[in-house]
């Protein structure tokens, strides 16, 4: 996006000197990311995304409740395959995401700077941290069972083993302020352990998430493991909170809707992560980001000859 900043906005493009045969920049259409593909909203709607200083950046898809339900179907369909991968394989794929993101570092620095209105230096720091976060969780996928599991010394002749398993489909309301590092920090822990996700991107700053979808799509991450919706959090979140085929709900980006959404999620007994006040996305993440969306399965078997 950075390269076409100079020509963005029709008014400015018209004022370019006619004598200069500048090549017309090909702009990107920002769409949703569902089931490994990039559809427009089924509603046909879009909304303008602007930088904090009011510059028009792009039109993003304005996802509908139907898009949210379609994304849940895609996430559910992808779950058995993703949880069935070995933890090592999931780790390799998450590391591949880090590789792909690193390779497009400059592009993401531009996008993050444009979305947040911050300087390039802080955008660079955020992108580097986002790459490192994928690496961090790539290493978690085959450790979490040893850290969160247990062999239990029951008082009888039984083998007794507890292992963590993913809850299933997790709906994630990504943080509103931090469009890349914050987004990665809530999505990577959910899928590292084998869940699949439907993520509602930052409402005002959705573009880096959709560009990240291009990274995910080229990292051998199976389609449907991460589905990304852009649009109004207040429109999409209630559908996800009430959806009977969603097992977990991360309310990080819910803002003032959090209590109401948690009440709605109670009807289907979802695992809920409540929003924390002023999270520091640069800090080392707590293990709760993973364990909140894990179940413990305990298997018993008699010991005998």
Partner 1 sequence: MADEIFEYAPAPESRAVVSLRSSYDLFIDGEFTPASGEERITTLNPADEEPLAEVAVASEADIDRAVRAARRAFEEVWGPMPGAERGKYLFRISRIIQERARELAVLETLDNGKPIKETRDVDIPLAAAHFFYHAGWADKLEHAGLGPAPRPLGVAAQVIPWNFPLLMLAWKIAPALATGNTVVLKPAETTPLTALLFAEICQEAGLPPGVVNIVTGAASTGRALVAHPGTDKVAFTGSTAVGREIARTVAGTDRRLTLELGGKGANIVYDDAAIDQAVEGVVTGIFFNQGHVCCAGSRLLVQESVAEEFLPRLRARIERLRVGDPLDKNTDVGAINSAAQLARIRDLAATGEQEGATAWSPACDLPERGYWFAPTVFTGVSQAHRVAREEIFGPVLSVLTFRTPEEAVLKANNTPYGLSAGVWTEKGSRMLWTANRLRAGVVWSNTFNKFDPASPFGGYKESGYGREGGRHGLEAYLDG
Determine, following the binding rule CB under 8 A, whether residue 143 of this chain makes contact with partner 1: no
- For residue 225, what are the β-bridge partners? none
Q: Is the dihedral of CA 172, 173, 179, 181 positive or negative?
A: negative
Comparison of 29 and 263: residue with beta carbon closer to partner 1:
263
Determine, following the binding rule CB under 8 A, whether residue 86 of this chain makes contact with partner 1: no
Q: Where do the H-state alpha helices sit in the chain?
A: 10-15, 65-84, 87-103, 105-116, 120-140, 144-148, 181-192, 207-217, 233-242, 258-266, 288-291
Member of 14, 53, 153, 278 binding partner 1 (CB under 8 A) = 153
Report residue 270 CA to chain centroid gap: 18
- For residue 56, what are the β-bridge partners? 50
Report residue 57 CA to chain centroid gap: 21
Per-residue string for binding with partner 1, 159-198, x by CB under 8 A?
A: -x-x----xx------------------------------
Distance of alpha carbon 10 from alpha carbon 87, whole angstroms: 49
- Give every CB contact of residue 248 below 8 A, 6+ residues apart in sequence: 167, 168, 169, 170, 171, 190, 195, 270, 271, 272, 273, 292, 293
Q: How far is the CB of 20 from partner 1 (least distance, A)?
A: 58
Per-residue string for binding with partner 1, 217-256, x by CB under 8 A?
A: ---------------------------x--x---------
Determine, following the binding rule CB under 8 A, whether residue 260 of this chain makes contact with partner 1: yes
Q: How far is the CB of 168 from partner 1 (least distance, A)?
A: 8
Determine, following the binding rule CB under 8 A, whether residue 76 of this chain makes contact with partner 1: no
Determine, following the binding rule CB under 8 A, whether residue 88 of this chain makes contact with partner 1: no
The secondary structure element, H or E, covering residue 20 is none
Member of 48, 52, 56, 267 binding partner 1 (CB under 8 A) = 267
Residue 141: φ, ψ to 5°: -55, -35
Tokens 């914050």, residue located: 182
Q: How far is the CB of 53 from partner 1 (least distance, A)?
A: 35
Q: How far is the CB of 286 from partner 1 (least distance, A)?
A: 8
Determine, following the binding rule CB under 8 A, whether residue 271 of this chain makes contact with partner 1: yes
Per-residue string for binding with partner 1, 103-142, x by CB under 8 A?
A: ----------------------------------------
Determine, following the binding rule CB under 8 A, whether residue 288 of this chain makes contact with partner 1: yes
Q: How many residues bind partner 1 (CB under 8 A)?
A: 37
Tokens 């390039």, residue located: 120
Give the tokens for residue 144: 């979490």
Q: Is the dihedral of CA 75, 288, 108, 98 positive or negative?
A: negative
Comparison of 218 and 296: residue with beta carbon closer to partner 1:
296
- Give every CB contact of residue 289 below 8 A, 6+ residues apart in sequence: 185, 186, 189, 190, 273
Member of 37, 77, 150, 217 binding partner 1 (CB under 8 A) = 150
Q: How far is the CB of 150 from partner 1 (least distance, A)?
A: 6
In three-state secondary structure terms, 293 is: coil
Residues engaged in binding partner 1 (CB under 8 A) = 147-148, 150, 152-156, 158, 160, 162, 167-168, 244, 247, 258-260, 262-263, 265-269, 271-272, 286, 288, 295-302
């Amino acid at each position: 996006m950075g390269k076409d900043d100079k020509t963005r906005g029709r008014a400015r493009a018209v004022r370019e000197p006619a004598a200069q045969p500048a090549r017309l920049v090909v702009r990107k259409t920002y769409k949703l990311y569902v089931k490994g593909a990039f559809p427009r909203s089924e509603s046909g709607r879009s909304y303008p995304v602007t930088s904090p200083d009011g510059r028009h950046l792009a039109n993003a898809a304005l996802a509908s409740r139907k898009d949210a339900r379609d994304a849940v179907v895609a996430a559910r369909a992808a779950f058995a395959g993703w949880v069935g991968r070995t933890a090592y394989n999931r780790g390799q794929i998450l590391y591949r995401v880090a590789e792909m993101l690193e390779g497009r570092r400059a592009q993401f620095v531009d996008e993050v700077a444009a979305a947040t209105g911050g300087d390039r230096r802080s955008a660079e720091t955020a992108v580097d941290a986002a790459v490192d976060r994928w690496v961090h969780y790539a290493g978690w996928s085959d450790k979490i069972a040893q850290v969160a599991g247990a062999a239990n010394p029951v008082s009888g002749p039984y083998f007794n083993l507890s292992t963590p398993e993913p809850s299933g489909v997790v709906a994630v309301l990504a943080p509103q302020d931090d469009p890349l590092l914050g987004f990665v920090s809530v999505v990577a822990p959910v899928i590292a352990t084998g869940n699949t996700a439907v993520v509602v991107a930052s409402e005002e700053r959705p573009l880096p998430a959709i560009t990240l979808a291009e990274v995910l799509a080229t990292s051998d991450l199976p389609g449907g493991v991460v589905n990304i919706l852009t649009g109004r959090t207040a429109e999409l979140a209630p559908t996800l909170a009430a959806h009977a085929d969603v097992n977990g709900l991360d309310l990080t980006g819910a803002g003032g809707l959090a209590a109401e959404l948690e009440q709605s999620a109670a009807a289907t007994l979802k695992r809920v992560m409540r929003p924390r006040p002023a999270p520091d996305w640069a800090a080392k993440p707590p293990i709760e980001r993973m364990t909140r969306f894990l179940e413990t399965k305990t298997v018993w078997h008699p010991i005998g000859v």
